[in-house]
Chains A and B, each alone.
Chain A
Amino acid sequence: MQTFDTIREMIIEQFQLDPTLITPEATLESLNIDSLSTVEFIFLLEEKYKIEASDRVELRTVQDLVNEIDRLVAAKQGGLPAKTDTA
């Protein structure tokens, strides 16, 4: 939940949205976060978590965003390649 809470706070701050709207299931589209804003927001997350989201991963919901950040952080900590499992 820690990543979700952090991302939720950042979404509220950056987009000035009603906090009740930011649920794991909420789609970025429903929050009016378009593709350009999404990549810009991911850039902020990269700066915060000191990670690099080099892969292009489809992110539809807030939970997708949380999962991707968790994966990248784990990869960085474990020294594993940050590769999306597409199998």
Chain B
Amino acid sequence: MKRVVVTGLGIMSPCGNDPVTFFANLVAARSGIGRHSRVFPEDTTCWLTGEIPPFSTAGFTPMRLGTLDRTTLIALLAARQAIADAKLVVNDKARAAVYWGTGLGGAGTMEESYRRSLGHVAKARLKPSTVVMTMNNAAASEISLDTGFTGPAYTYSVACASAAIAIGEALRAIRNGYCDCAIAGGADSLLTLGSLKAWQALQTLAREDAANPGSSCRPFAADRSGFVLSEGAGALVLEEAESAVARGATIYAELAGFGSTSDASHITKPSAEGQARALGMALDDAALKPDDIGYINAHGTATAAGDLTESDAIKAAFGAAAMRVPVSSTKALHGHVMGATGAVEFIAALMALRENVIPPTAHLHKPDPACDLDYVPNKARRADNLHAVMSNSFAFGGNNAVLIATRFTC
């Protein structure tokens, strides 16, 4: 079976629009969360969100921008970054693929079409591009168009595990010879009034800390109150290892393991058993033992059920090693980027591996006694020669995905 390496990274996130800035902000515990910039005319609630900082759209004509949902736009920008970072050379574009994840695709366009259609605008008519802007495979297809890659361009919509599963499936495709390289990752931008209200109705959103809104998301803390809805995109260039080495690519890490399970128990309530199986499966896939893992980027949504279940799952899968492995949730800083979260947080783990620095769980000043692992509270930690890192993504629907990266050696 072929080995697979990561040779390029791209990111658009509330904590920065390139991997270096993003990781520096995580390490410094600088939050990208704040009060939402847009005031919705229908609802004056002051929403707390994680918005991507302003970015350039140079090179896109107004017509092109007008026919791309924001999710697709940030996906394209992240993918372009990753390809540039990798200095990717593709000799046979039919052997290059796109594996992309998204939870709600063109949510903003969809909501705007509903808003116009359902009585808010007299005799509303919709943009002719509405269908191709809202479809869930828009981002994957636009990346395919942008790159000219003519291998498979697949979309995985698995809620919060979407991007992690897309990356894992790309790993399997390259390993098994279905393609030589892939852009893999995910994007979501659903900071719309309808989405915010839906998540609020589910009682999952964090209460605002009025004194410091950026500290409102507190994973693993006794004073947690939920997550902050954010937008983001993360992209990786994955290549078959031998050809990447042969072309002299700079290699971030080997994508060494992927575990994926379903709970089949409850639509929202997570299962430690299902998560632990995914963790164990990823370890087996990477041929690693729990003690080999030097850092886990947790799913860590700052909900009581989520934090406790994930901690239990790590204990079940890691045994005694669970108490030794540093675990942090960077969602405290960038919020929950939904379908992109598996890519954005895997990039955090890859940067940790590269820099030998473990980003903290910010805003963890009141530990929850029921969460008793090493959550790297508040301050980044230098690590001694990290060898392997893990990233967890657990989705509504009971879908669990775990990725492992290792320092690459030929």
Listed in ascending order, the chain A residues whose CB lies under 8 Å from chain B are 13-16, 36-37, 39-43, 46, 52
Contacts and interface: CB of A to CB of B under 8 A. Distances in A.
The interface residues of chain A, by DSSP majority, are classed as: helix
B61 A14 contact: yes
Given A40-B127, A43-B127, A52-B125, A15 B132 contact: no
Contacts of B125: 43, 46, 52
B65 to A, nearest CB: 10
Interface centre among B62, B66, B127, B128 (most CB of A within 10 A): B128
Contacts of A39: 128
A14 B62 contact: yes
B66 A40 contact: yes
A39 B126 CA distance: 11
Nearest to A42: B128
A14 B66 CA distance: 9
Contacts of B66: 14, 40
B67 interface: yes
A40 B67 contact: yes
A39 B61 CA distance: 16
A14 B127 CA distance: 15
Interface string B324-365: 000000000000000000000000000000000000000000
Contact of B62 (A13, A36, A43, A46): A13
A36 B132 contact: yes
Contacts of A40: 63, 66-67, 127-129
Interface string B62-75: 11001100000000
Contacts of B129: 36, 40
Contacts of A36: 67, 128-129, 132
23 contacts: A13-B62, A14-B61, A14-B62, A15-B63, A16-B61, A16-B62, A36-B67, A36-B128, A36-B129, A36-B132, A37-B63, A37-B67, A40-B63, A40-B67, A40-B128, A40-B129, A41-B63, A42-B128, A43-B125, A43-B127, A43-B128, A46-B125, A52-B125
Contacts of B67: 36-37, 40
Nearest to B132: A36
Interface in B144-197: none
Contacts of A14: 61-63, 66
Contacts of A46: 125
Nearest to A54: B125
A42 B127 CA distance: 10
A18 to B, nearest CB: 13
Nearest to B127: A43
A36 B128 CA distance: 8
Interface string B100-122: 00000000000000000000000
Interface in B392-408: none
Contacts of A13: 62
A28 to B, nearest CB: 12
